[in-house]
Amino acid sequence: MEYQTITYTVESDVAVITLSRADKMNALTTQMRAEIAHAATQAGKDARVVVLTGEGRAFCSGQDLGDRSAGGATDMERTLRDEYAPMLRAIVNCPVPTIAAVNGAAAGAGANLALAADVVIATESAYFLQAFTRIGLIPDAGGTYTLPRSMGSAKAMGAALFADKISARQADDWGMIWEAVPDNAFEANWRAKAAHLAAGPTTAYSELKKVIRGSWDNTFEDQLTLEEHAQGKCGKSRDFKEGVLAFTEKRPAVFEGR
């Protein structure tokens, strides 16, 4: 696919998907959602970690309300089912770790796009906004799932009802994101985190994503069984053999990945 609303690069096993409609604060269109979904799926094959970030002063301002190709207000259910869901699934089900590097405003569906990633790193000047009730809607793009799981039901309900801005520092303090980073250190920070994951044990990361996400729907006994199967797979991997050997030889492990 030839991308027009995003850029896609792969270097040193790190795939970077950059939302590139800076003049529109990277607002989501039908085309953009399709391109993000395609790139996230491709990145799972090309790289060992995926970073999603924005160009300009915003990460993503949510749905482009002027995008007529999305069907408009009369066809929101179809848009969510046929356009948002495939994009979000591509990110959530990506077999390698995903990082949302939130460089600025993340509002509406843009905030929930970020929360779909495994790890969210935000610049301190960024903010998150569940703007939906301001126009008579409920949070979507997976927000009703990720919000209570990332910040607790009380904070999630307040964020959705009041539609107040949540600063990156607040989001960090509430456990909504992994960390808020000073603006002047932001890019170096997420690039270092991405490089760390790109050099890590790919099989373990893939299985870890499955068991953590699966835990919300499991009983304790079910989760123990899921852990057993996942750990059994990890124990048979080349990465585990290398990790043990490196430990005994008192040297850093060199994980080969897939």
The per-residue pLDDT of the chain, averaged, comes to 94
Specify the fold of 6-198. Answer: 2-enoyl-CoA Hydratase; Chain A, domain 1 (3.90.226)
Mean pLDDT of 13-18: 97
What pTM, to 2 d.p., does this model score? 0.93
Q: How far apart are CA 134 and CA 160, in angstroms?
A: 10
List CB contacts of 230: < 8 A, sequence separation 6 or more: 207, 208, 210, 211
Phi, psi of 197 (to 5 degrees): -70, -35
Task: Place 90 in a pLDDT band, splitting at 50, 70 and 90.
Answer: very high
pLDDT of residue 74: 60
CA gyration radius, the chain: 19
CATH tag, 202-248: 1.10.12
Mean pLDDT of 56-74: 80
Q: What residue ranges do the domains of the chain occupy?
A: 6-198, 202-248
Nearest to 13 by CA among 190, 142, 158, 195: 195
Alpha carbon distance, N-terminus to C-terminus of the chain: 24
Whether the predicted pLDDT of 67 surpasses 90: no
Give the three-class secondary structure for 54.
Answer: strand
